[in-house]
Amino acid sequence: MSNDVGRYAIYFTPSSASALAHFGAEWLGYDVTTGDCPPQPVIAAITPKRLRHITEEPRRYGFHATLKPPFVLAEGADVDALDEAAAVLACRFPTFAAPRLRLACLSGFWALMLSKHCPMVDGLAAACVAEFDWFRAPPSAAELARRRSADLSPAQEALLRRWGYPYVMEEFRFHMTLTTRLDPVERAVVGAELASLVEPVCQSALAVDAIGLFHQERRDAPFRLLHRYKLAV
């Protein structure tokens, strides 16, 4: 499968008018809604060049939490049908308040995660994984090999075989990635700077009011939000 084949994904992303969305766009230097690249914050302990580098990978995906991981459209599937399916699924789930966010280190990178477990979030993610699965082309041998290089557990291997991704269903952890993986010394420095920046957006419950359909034209291009589907009121 060519690396230039476009991909789609179903993500949670906050309303573009929210303080959380503004923080994410500025921290990463990329706005998934507009495609603009706003200036990143000036941070005393990190040079602008280094901040650009450590946010390069999450910037390509945009500020989001994964619900249905990126996939190539299966043969016979089309984006119009995917669009319709996303709208239908969104109508089945009510808008809800998830626990507030917290800054956390996940496998060596910084992310915003939920402060408490939320069954409603897990249920929404599981539905997205299962119900959009027929739109997903099987992963390539190279993709499978890359995933398996992470020393997957037997449960994760089973999920990879079934759903094309090892961190779904019971392995799912809601997170909004902020950096690439960092060594312990730099991780501590970046975490100290992030703690004050994220504090204003971690004070109240997280409004989960929509799911978003994202598209990536080619593997080295950034994901863009195509449509944000409101959940039921």
Average pLDDT over residues 118-130: 98
- Whether residue 210 lies inside any domain: the answer is yes
pLDDT at residue 1 in the model:
31
The pTM of this model reads 0.94
In percent, how much of the chain has pLDDT > 70? 98
Q: Residue 103 sits in a domain of what CATH number?
A: 3.90.1140.10
pLDDT band at 2; cut points 50, 70, 90: very low
pLDDT at residue 5 in the model:
66
pLDDT per position as a tens digit, 140-194 = 899 999 999 988 999 999 999 999 999 999 999 999 999 999 999 999 999 999 9
- Whether residue 157 lies inside any domain: the answer is no
Structural domain for 195, as ranges? 7-125+174-230
- Whether residue 116 lies inside any domain: the answer is yes
- Whether residue 190 lies inside any domain: the answer is yes
Q: How many domains would you assign to the chain?
A: 1
pLDDT per position as a tens digit, 43-94 = 989 999 999 999 999 999 999 999 999 999 999 999 999 999 999 999 999 9
Q: How far is CA 108 from the centre of its chain?
A: 17
- Whether residue 131 lies inside any domain: the answer is no
pLDDT at residue 69 in the model:
97
Average pLDDT of the chain is 95
